[in-house]
Structure 1
Amino acid sequence: MSVQGVDIAGERVLLLPHKALYWPRERLLAVADIHFGKAAAFRAQGVPVPHGTTMENLAALDAIMAEMAVAHLVFLGDFLHAQAAHAATGALLAWRARHQYVRMTLVRGNHDRHAGDPAALLSLDVVDEPYHVAPFAFCHHPDFPAGTGHVVAGHVHPVYRLSDGRDALRLPCFIAGAQRTILPAFGAFTGGHALQPMQGDRVFVVAGDAVFSVGKITTST
């Protein structure tokens, strides 16, 4: 695994190929848009989508927590996809028991407001955005106004298009700007949206088990 260390708001953080951000000083792991139960919600509507995405997401979290010393896990919104996602609570409880000493916080996103808060037995602190751990303001939406703190958010599921003129790839990406950092969607069944970075943003793409710098955007949009 190849991580990318970057300085954001005067703090050193690590961008992980698991599509998560790790802040070593606070031993804090941030993940965005995990969307537990999304596939089940689609199946409930008769859409034939794969099984096993909840366990895939939990296994990915386990992999990170086996490698990093995580004291605090912050979910940047859209923890549950819909009300039907509460059916996954059994698997989540078993996973939570394996990490009972890790503090966990959910910053509510738009899907969480429709799905309802997770079961109390999961022992998540559930808060509204912005959630402050200075110098950062952990949010779901990336468009909080200046003065909030350096916003760390998700919501838009960013991907970046790489092209060599003949072929093109759409890769999940982190976008780090002066006022905000946007994380890719962590969930295994989430898709992505091409997001045009702003001038001065740094873009880091996730390719396999590595994170690569695309560089700083030097032209305005």
Structure 2
Amino acid sequence: MSAAHLVVAGEALVLLPEKALLWPREKMLIIADIHFGKAASFRAAGVPVPRGTTSENLAALDVLIEAHDVAHIMFLGDFLHARAAHASATVAAMLAWRARHPRLALTLVRGNHDRHAGDPAASLQIALVDEPHTIGPFAFCHHPDLDTAGYALAGHIHPTFRLATRFDSLRLPCFVVGGGRMILPSFGAFTGGFQMTRAPGDALYVSSGEAVHLVR
């Protein structure tokens, strides 16, 4: 795996191929738009989508926690997709995961889906905050267009970028790094994405799943 190392607002940050951001000094893993229960919500509406996305998301978190000695996970909104995310099987899987990580600090900056879905189960022991939530030089947000005092780290958009040749194209999740804010890709296994065009002053870093590359 090949990550991208940046200095943002005077702090070393790591853009991980797994579509997450690491703040090493704080041992903090920053995750946007995991959308637990999205597949269950579609199935509840009669749409035949695959099962197992909750387990896939939790397993992906496990890999990152072990690889990077994570002490705190900051979720940048849309932890739950809809009220169907409170289904017993989904909650049971999350509680079993939480039991394996009792010392891990969890914070959720509420996003638009969280407000509709309702707060996660209290037994998950997640600190719930509203945006912007400030720690050090960073303002942790869900929406990237907020006026914040600090450098904003946000999600919401699920950014992707299309790499193209004369004969083929590939759309990959991306980090959008600007002068005053960074937009993280969606971490969830079943979330889709919005195709970005590069705005003046923004740098785009795409993730192949194995490496993070600056778009030149």
> For 1:1-221, what aligned pairs fall within 5 Å after superposition?
1-87=1-87, 88-145=90-147, 147-215=148-216
Letter in 1 for 2:215: V
Q: How many residues align?
A: 214
Letter in 1 for 2:150: G
Q: Distance in 2 between matches of 1:153 and 1:197?
A: 17
Letter in 2 for 1:193: F
- How far apart are residue 83 of structure 1 and its match? 0.5
Letter in 2 for 1:91: A
Range 197-206 or range 75-84, more displaced: 197-206
Q: Which residue of 2 aligns with 1:218?
A: none
Letter in 1 for 2:121: A
**1:45-78: CA deviations, max 9, x gaps?**
0001000000000000000001001111000000
8 Å CA contact retained: 1:76, 1:106: yes
Q: Distance in 2 between matches of 1:86 and 1:43?
A: 14
**1:155-184: CA deviations, max 9, x gaps?**
000000111122111100001110000000
RMSD: 0.8
Q: TM-score, normalised on structure 1? A: 0.95
Q: TM-score, normalised on structure 2? A: 0.97
8 Å CA contact retained: 1:108, 1:129: yes
- How far apart are residue 3 of structure 1 and its match? 1.0
**1:185-207: CA deviations, max 9, x gaps?**
00000000012232121111000
Letter in 2 for 1:33: D
In the alignment, structure 1 segments of 5+ residues that lack a partner are 216-221
- SS of the residue 1:185 aligns to: coil
Letter in 1 for 2:64: I
In the alignment, structure 2 segments of 5+ residues that lack a partner are none
- SS of the residue 2:86 aligns to: helix
Q: Percent same amino acid at aligned positions?
A: 61
8 Å CA contact retained: 1:158, 1:183: yes
Q: Distance in 2 between matches of 1:170 and 1:3?
A: 19
- How far apart are residue 139 of structure 1 and its match? 0.3
